[in-house]
Structure formats: structure tokens, C-alpha cells
Amino acid sequence: MSWFSFLKKKSDDKSPPMKKTLIVGLGNVGSEYQHTRHNIGFDILDELSKQEEFAFETQKLGQVAWHKHKGRTLVFLKPNTYMNLSGKAVKYWMQQEKISCNNVLVVTDDLNLDFGTIRMKSKGSDGGHNGLKDIQLKLQTQQYPRLRFGIGATYQKGKQVDYVLSPWSPEEKKALPERIEMCGKMVLSFATVGLQNTMNLFNGK
């Protein structure tokens, strides 16, 4: 069976989540990118590692951590490929851990949502996000779950790159801890009770 056929077969599977889940936080490596809007995926996984007391280690194509939660194995990945090549790391660790699309959750920033709005989706387009665009290209499908963290779009024309790579405003920083904590709960819920139940429980909060 080809890689694409394997993904297609598994993404059509509506059964409960498997006992192993890959959680991918998107971001860019390097101190100049720390705690910027585009790195919210990294920040959410870092905060979850503190709450759940697990540690990342340097592995091929990223920082990786393995964690047990309610009888399930969660594999956390922060790609070190830079945003535009995120799909390379995602595909490698899916193959390495034998995890199919319906058991992958990509945590990403989203310009199309107001700041602090959180949405989990089962599939969708890349929405102009370069990390999602590369994941879609490498996996040859849009059908993989993602957790979208709204960063708003309060920038002038032609300043999108500067905006996503800039730090949060003081007002946003005050609201971030509660929103990041909510995302952590959604990640753990996804891994234990599945996509649909998590969307029903949390979307809109």
C-alpha cells in the first residue's frame, strides 16, 4: 500500500482514537522567534510540558517528547525545520511512530480568527499558512485535525510577515495564559476522548 493510500484509508476511519497520538506544535526555531505570534504552537506545547511534567529532547527533525496520559501515548513534536518545511518533520514522525492522519493534531496560529479565539477542526485548507501548506503538500491531504489559535489580523497592508513574527501586545500577553491553558486541555481531550467530543466540549469557549 502506498503512503497516500495508507493516509486516505486511515483518515476515512471514524473509529475512536488510537492509543498513540502525535501532537505537533508549529513554530520557528531560534531565540529571535521565541514568544512571537507565529510560535504559539511551540508555546502551547511548552506550557503543557510544564503542567504534565514531561521533557523534550532533540531528535531527528525536531524536539520530541513521549508522555503517557490516561492509558494513551502522546508523542509531542516541535519541528526544527522552520515553518515552511514543517511537513517534512510531521511525515517523518508519523511514519516513525506509525500514526495515521486522524491521530495527528497540528497546533497552529491563525490570522483568520480574532485574537484568543480557539477552534479545533477535522480538516481544511492551509488558509495561507506556510506551515500547513507544507504539511498538506507532504501528506497529500487536507484531512488532518488541527487546533487553530487566533492571532487576529491587525496589521497594515504588506506587513503580514512582520506581524506574525512580532511579539504579543501587552494586552494580549495578559490574556495569553488562560487561552494557552485552554489549548492544553483541548490537546489532552483530543488524545483521550477523540476529535468530535473535544470539538463539542470546547469549540466556542
Instruction: Please give the positions annotated as active site.
Output: 38
Q: What string of DSSP letters covers 93-116?
A: HHHHHT--GGGEEEEEEETTS-TT
| 180/25 Cα distance (integer angstroms) | 12
**Strands of 72-79's sheet, edge to edge?**
57-59, 62-69, 72-79, 20-25, 104-110, 146-150, 118-121
State the residue for C-alpha cell 517534512: 88
| 41/84 Cα distance (integer angstroms) | 14
